[in-house]
Structure 1
Amino acid sequence: MTLNYLVLVVCVLVAVAFVTLLERKILGYIQIRKGPNKVGYLGVLQPFSDAIKLFSKEQTSPTLSNFLVYYMSPVFSLFISLVVWMIIPYEAGLMNFEMGVLFFLCCLSLGVYSTMSAGWASNSKYSLLGSLRAVAQTISYEVSLALILLSFLLLVGGFKFELFILYQEKVWLLWMVFPLSYTWFASCLAETNRTPFDFAEGESELVSGFNTEYSGGGFALIFMAEYASILFMSALFTILFLGGSLFSVSFYLKLVGISFAFIWVRGTLPRLRYDKLMYIAWKSFLPVSLNYLVFYMGVKLLCFSVLLS
């Protein structure tokens, strides 16, 4: 089991490297310019040169920073982003969580602490403001994500993600609950601090947000954690709404398609105002997810009453 998980981690890290290349290529085409094309054939080796450059750079830290927390925050962030991959039902000797949904929500909540501690430990007002924004944003959208998951748990009747794959053997949940899938995707953008919800890294007002004081390896770890989260959210979207066996090529094509959508949104949409972000979370997504939850509870109770009668 340990060996399988190590192989999984290596595969995720390699995938993260090439997702960065994919993003830079796609953004290049969207903005009508060339992406990376110098290192290796068509720029294929660019992610590796970036990694060598970042990890070989001098490690710096602000004089008045909290040294231990400052250095451990990026490590903890990447650790959480990799640990959460254990809930994916690979059917290949990895852990088969009976309460996979709860474990996912716990890891999602823990990810807030690494961002908050990174901003606080840097002892910079820009970093602190960026981390506070990220915490408020993440907590707000976690409520919608949890309510959407509760709706699906009533449908599939369990906490295992494997049940979602079995439930969608005939038809995708995407067609059955399209508004929830749209809400889930937008909430994933906010959870992973992606455009148009990247207020934790607002260049125009916060320099670079919570990671302003990080350079070299620390910045690389934060960067890797963000892209590992994007890949995981893409895989989770595929499991929840598009189904399919994890040993089929179609599953990974869907995963790449959702990852492409993350990048596409970044290349086309401008950043929103922060009050608009919070308005969408509490005035739009929350009522929609709550209404669906109440609807599914009513349907479930109705089915039980019919069966009992």
Structure 2
Amino acid sequence: MREQTAAQTVFPDLDSFGTDAWWLVLVKAVAVFAFLVLTVLVAILAERKIMARMQYRLGPNRVGWHGALQSLADGVKLALKEGLTPFGVDKVLYLLAPVVSVVPAIMAFAVIPMGPEVSIFGHRTPLQLTDLPIGVLYVLALASIGVYGIVLAGWSSGSTYPLLGALRSTAQVISYEIAMGLTFAAVFLLSTTMSTSEIVSAQAHHWYIVLLLPSFAIYAISMVGETNRAPFDLPEAEGELVGGFHTEYSSLKFAMFMLAEYINMATVSALATTLFLGGWQAPWPLSIWDGANSGWWPLLWFVIKMWSFLFVFFWLRTTLPRLRYDQFMGLGWKVLIPFALGWVLVVAVIREATRSLSGWASGSILAGAGVVVTATLLVAISRETIGRRPPPTLPPTQAPFDPMAGGFPVPPLPGQVLPTPKLSGTTASPPPSEPEASHA
């Protein structure tokens, strides 16, 4: 055990895990699962209520007190609906895809620290199911596996629109997981560990949102793309792909996809809290109180921080339109990945150059550099997503456009003009001249 800041605050480390009785591990596993399911039920209701409030509507207000049981009623309705399996699907992969999506989403929460050591039935144990020397990479790996559920769902459905949603998801995970992984590298450089519990203890004096502001900004954008949420919900894209990868799913199978989406939102929000907001540690000025980081109080601070990120998810869905695909890919490859890679280099150089300085001086230099890089990042993001580009123009010597040249009708590009249609079997007569018209 390592004690930090106050005698009452005990930060668990890797030695704190692996010694619990089997029944205590089972209790904590069931508690984590129940916490995630309850979070999903509350998040769906809160999202509908928040969106309704922002759009001057009422939202759910019929089932239960002010609609409090609406999420539960929707879940029961989905479970009792008839499950249809379209003709022509790959049945094994079609049924396996929802399971592949939801199981890794639940497993990823196992290494999230939710509090310090507490007493459960007389046994001292951390408020965390388990931890690993590479705990953060474990979460990233499970997030990658969860995307296979989306890909398999689109491919096995045997339909065009789900397949397009699956292809978009493949490009999305490749683009944004690279940027997300690079933000982790900056955290590893400062904390010198990949364990989630030890990263929390390394932030006892300074939260990494202050020292690694660009990493936080890039991670906050990447986690929205990673969870397929607006304005990055291109794998679903109801206006373009009907429903995307889950178009052919219904009943409980569709509910599992929804469950996986909201659990992934909770997981990435909890990971952001762990990496950049000090985890379960109390914010200032509550941290002045010696008992704020002991007992069960840290669980409350953790939940508040996690729900702050969930609120931003709902806010973005209410206010921002969906990005175009070129904007989406350009943001990932042209902005986030280069900035994340450059920032890791800056952190490494500053850390090595200020090794002989005090911790406060080194942190001040790193925080100042982070503010400059973050401002530059925001300018680049605005130019990539908001900046208007002139439409491409065709050279004047280009041949006339023929929409049937390749055997399939294609729409014209900007600057091309469709030929004037002619009616078969008729000859268009010229309009009468002015004198003839007046004579008639």
Normalised by the shorter chain, which TM-score bucket?
over 0.9
Contact 1:189 1:195 in 2 (8 A): yes
Residue 286 of structure 1, CA deviation? 0.8
Q: Aligned ranges for residues 37-76 of structure 1 at < 5 Å? A: 37-76=61-100
What are the superposed Cα offsets for residues 172-226 of structure 1, whole Å, 9 maximum, x if unpaired? 2212222221211110000000000000011111000000000110110000000
How many residues are paired up? Answer: 307
Contact 2:131 2:196 in 1 (8 A): no
CA distance in 2 between counterparts of 1:262 and 1:204 reads 20
Change beyond 3 A, Cα 1:128–1:93 = closer
Residue 301 of structure 1, CA deviation? 3.6
CA-atom RMSD, angstroms? 1.6
**Are residue 183 (structure 1) and residue 218 (structure 2) matched?**
yes
Query: Counterpart in 2 of 1:290?
Result: 341
Residue 244 of structure 1, CA deviation? 4.1
Query: What are structure 1's unaligned runs of at least 5 residues?
Result: none
The structure 1 residue matched to 2:146, chosen from 93, 111, 132, is: 111
Larger Rg: 2
Q: Aligned ranges for residues 31-42 of structure 1 at < 5 Å? A: 31-42=55-66
Q: Does 234-243 or 184-193 show the bigger shift?
A: 234-243
- Look up the equivalent residue of 2:276 and give its one-letter code: F
Query: Counterpart in 2 of 1:264?
Result: 315
Identity %: 37
CA distance in 1 between counterparts of 2:347 and 2:49 reads 42
Q: Does 163-172 or 222-231 show the bigger shift?
A: 163-172
Change beyond 3 A, Cα 1:41–1:71 = same
**Are residue 168 (structure 1) and residue 219 (structure 2) matched?**
no
CA distance in 1 between counterparts of 2:144 and 2:128 reads 27
Query: Counterpart in 2 of 1:20?
Result: 44
When the two structures are superposed, what TM-score results if normalisation uses the length of structure 1?
0.95
CA distance in 2 between counterparts of 1:298 and 1:241 reads 21
Residue 95 of structure 1, CA deviation? 1.2
Residue 31 of structure 1, CA deviation? 1.0
Q: Aligned ranges for residues 129-168 of structure 1 at < 5 Å? A: 129-168=164-203
SS in 2 for 1:16: helix
Change beyond 3 A, Cα 1:93–1:272 = closer
The structure 2 residue matched to 1:6, chosen from 26, 30, 46, is: 30
SS in 1 for 2:140: helix
CA distance in 1 between counterparts of 2:142 and 2:84 reads 29
What are the superposed Cα offsets for residues 142-182 of structure 1, whole Å, 9 maximum, x if unpaired? 00000110111011001101122112222222122222212
The structure 1 residue matched to 2:270, chosen from 235, 241, 254, is: 235
CA distance in 2 between counterparts of 1:101 and 1:258 reads 18
- Higher RCO, 1 vs 2 (CA within 8 Å, ≥6 residues apart): 1
Q: Does 138-147 or 288-297 show the bigger shift?
A: 288-297
SS in 2 for 1:119: helix
The structure 2 residue matched to 1:196, chosen from 231, 235, 250, is: 231
**Are residue 299 (structure 1) and residue 337 (structure 2) matched?**
no
SS in 1 for 2:62: coil
Structure with higher helix content: 1
CA distance in 2 between counterparts of 1:206 and 1:111 reads 21
Contact 1:169 1:244 in 2 (8 A): no
When the two structures are superposed, what TM-score results if normalisation uses the length of structure 2?
0.67
Residue 287 of structure 1, CA deviation? 1.3
- Look up the equivalent residue of 2:38 and give its one-letter code: V
